[in-house]
Amino acid sequence: MICSNNQESIVAKAELKTKANEADVDAFIATAQPERRQEEARQLVDLFRRITGEEPRMWGPSIIGFGSYDYKYDSGREGTMCRTGFSPRKAKLSLYLMGAYCTPEAQAEQERLFGLLGKHSVGKSCLYINRLEQVDMDILEQLIRNNWDLMNERYPQ
């Protein structure tokens, strides 16, 4: 899932509870707080669905994921995770964009796009957005599309 070895242990621990399940995506969105998160989540579902061509599925209790891929670390640990997705958390929207961390060129392009995006912060493989209205949706679409394409390149379907 993530190219860096120091991130393997973080992902490996999270993977145990982050599995695809049959929970209802719309029912989950209806519980998002604050209330504006519900509309933002619906916007993101539409955006991710358009980019990926995949239907949303719950991964664990709070991630709305699109597609899946199987990974195996050098340590032998293996699993399945969504290719991309997001979580409408109370404090911020968390978008999971793993593809760009696998090549220096992809990282550079992602950094360039982050510079054009608007108000946000980043973590290891996460993009955090306070409000969708604070970012350029065309740039956000390009970030998601780039990461989707890179994941498909690295993990062919």
* Structure confidence at residue 12 (pLDDT): 46
- Map out the domains of the chain as residue ranges: 5-154
Is the pTM value of this prediction over 0.85? yes
Helix 137-154 and helix 36-52, axial crossing angle in degrees, nearest 10: 50
* Structure confidence at residue 86 (pLDDT): 98
**Which regions in the chain score pLDDT beneath 50?**
1-15
**10 Å Cβ neighbour count for 80?**
14
**Taking Cα atoms as reference points, which of 65, 62, 99, 97 lies closest to residue 81?**
65
- Strand order in 126-129's β-sheet? 57-59, 63-66, 84-88, 93-96, 126-129, 121-122
* Structure confidence at residue 98 (pLDDT): 86
Q: Is 21 helix (H, G, I), strand (E, B) or coil?
A: coil
Task: Give CA separation, 154 vs 39, 48, 102, 116, in Å.
Answer: 32, 19, 9, 26
- Residues contacting residue 103 through CB under 8 Å, at least 6 positions apart: 150
* Structure confidence at residue 125 (pLDDT): 86
* Structure confidence at residue 16 (pLDDT): 53
- Rounded CA gap, 25 and 74, in Å? 33
DSSP line for 59-114:
ETTTEEEES-EEEE-TTS-EEEE-SEEEEE-SS-EEEE--GGGGSHHHHHHHHHHH
Quickly tell me which residue has 């340590």 as its tokens: 75
* Structure confidence at residue 84 (pLDDT): 96
